[in-house]
Amino acid sequence: MPALLKPAGRIGRDLRRPECVLVAADGTVFVSDARGGVTRIDAMDRCTHLPCPGGATNGVAQRRDGTLILAGIDSGTVHALRPDGSSMPLIDRFDGEPLGAVNFPYCDPRGDLWLTVSTRTVPRSRAIDAPIPDGYVLSLRADGPRLMAQGLCFANELRIDPPMRWAYLAESARGRVVRMAIGADGTLGPAMPFGPDPLFANAIVDGLAWDVEGGLWVTEVTRNALYRIAPDGIAQCLYEDPDASLLDFPASIAFGGPNRRTLYVGSIRMDHVLRFRSPVAGAPMWHHRRDGRR
């Protein structure tokens, strides 16, 4: 089991709702921004706002050409922000209806884009206060969007394991991680709990990230905690801060830095990103390699 974590500093300043953290292949850190678009944080800790339509950005993904995919949770829209600063809308409706609270985009090695929609309930906080199974997952392919999973209680971050056998999802309102088998035709099987169900009583899980040993790192917001679920499903709490003395509402987690042993944690409530030194390296994201291999 990895050792317990200790904070190792912070990056960024005056950030506005840095809910999602993404580390590019060159080490640049992008965080979501309440003004729309993202904030780019370079190696000198300089922060630059890159605007994009779509209202407050929640989740951020990156394609291998550097294009950022931004989920606007308030607007229910998804936009692409190109490296040259231009943008274009990708999707705002499915089956003739508004998407709802689109939460998180994820690019798989084939180049397909996945989207999680937390809920269509308004306001969306109702779907956290009491589980409402109206969250779902879409895959955006060349022939259009495809429904991959539904009946989820506040679908949050999604990750696919390196062998591409399972899709893992943070089901926030049930305080657990679920996984769904990926079929030969790309469809997803039923959602099954992975690890404790729930993580603990009244937990709310949010962000996910893989390490090179196959461990799935999970953020939990009620106790401001970071967990690791081992491949055998055993969970270990590596850090928690119930009083929010340093970490407040950890919403996402990403590996980066030298040998990918720096852990970056994003938050809805903080104006910076907190760093930890990780005892195990993170697995590279798909956008870190052009061939899609890890």
Decide if 260 contacts 249 (C-beta within 8 A). no
State yes or no: 58 annotated in a binding site: no
State yes or no: 206 annotated in a binding site: yes
State yes or no: 156 annotated in a binding site: yes
Whether cis (ω within 30° of 0) applies to the bond prior to 109 is no
DSSP 3-state of 105: strand
> Rounded to whole angstroms, how far apart are CA atoms 250 and 218?
9
Instruction: Give how far Cα 250 sits from Cα of 13, 156, 205, Å.
Output: 17, 13, 9
> Rounded to whole angstroms, how far apart are CA atoms 159 and 162?
9
Question: Read out DSSP for 20-78?
Answer: -EEE-TTS-EEEE-TTSSEEEE-TT--EEEE--SSSSEEEEEE-TTS-EEEEETTTTEE
Q: Please indicate whether residue 206 is annotated as part of the active site.
A: yes
C-alpha atoms less than 13 angstroms from C-alpha of 3 in its C-beta half-sphere: 8
Q: What are the backbone angles phi and psi of residue 112, rounded to the nearest 5°?
A: -75, 145
> Rounded to whole angstroms, how far apart are CA atoms 256 and 272?
16
Beta pairing partners, 29:
23, 41
Select which of 134, 206, 232, 241 is catalytic. Answer: 206
List active site positions.
Answer: 206
List the binding residues for substrate: 103
List the binding residues for a divalent metal cation: 156, 206
